[in-house]
Amino acid sequence: MKKETPTPVIHLENGHKYAKVAGVKTTLDIPDDLFRRVKATAALEGRSLKDFVTRSLEARLAPLAADRGKDREPPWMRGFGALADLTAETQRIDQCIAREFATLEAEDLA
């Protein structure tokens, strides 16, 4: 019995193991009036519907990607960043407490 050698798998830059995939075909259900507006706007701009939708989706997702790149902390920790503004107030309160304790200590000595 002849032993078969396994076929090597070549991994390309986009992660697909056989060939570079140019795009993915999909079906979307969108309202008719929205479809007409999108198609008309694409035509007025001299672009294909595919190009218009692709660029629109990229523009919508770009700010989200930028936000994710800025801070890698979990979303629930973003609320704690607002507490950083309290640093000056916390220092002021600490100084008031220190002054009061200094006054009490002087009174205790008398």
Instruction: Give the CATH number of the domain where residue 31 resides.
Output: 1.10.1220
In a domain, 44, yes or no: yes
Please state, for a pLDDT cut of 90, what percent of the chain lies above it: 25
pLDDT at res. 92: 84
pLDDT at 40: 94
Maximal CA-CA distance, the chain: 105
User: What average pLDDT does the segment 31-40 reach?
Assistant: 94
Which domain does 107 fall in, by range? 75-110
Over residues 41-65, the mean pLDDT reads: 90
User: What's residue 99's pLDDT?
Assistant: 83
Q: Considering the chain, what percentage of its residues have pLDDT values greater than 70? A: 55
91 lies in the same domain as 57: no
Q: Is residue 106 part of a domain?
A: yes
Burial of 88 (0-12, 13-18, 19+ CB in 10 A): exposed
Instruction: Please check whether residue 6 lies inside any domain of the structure.
Output: no
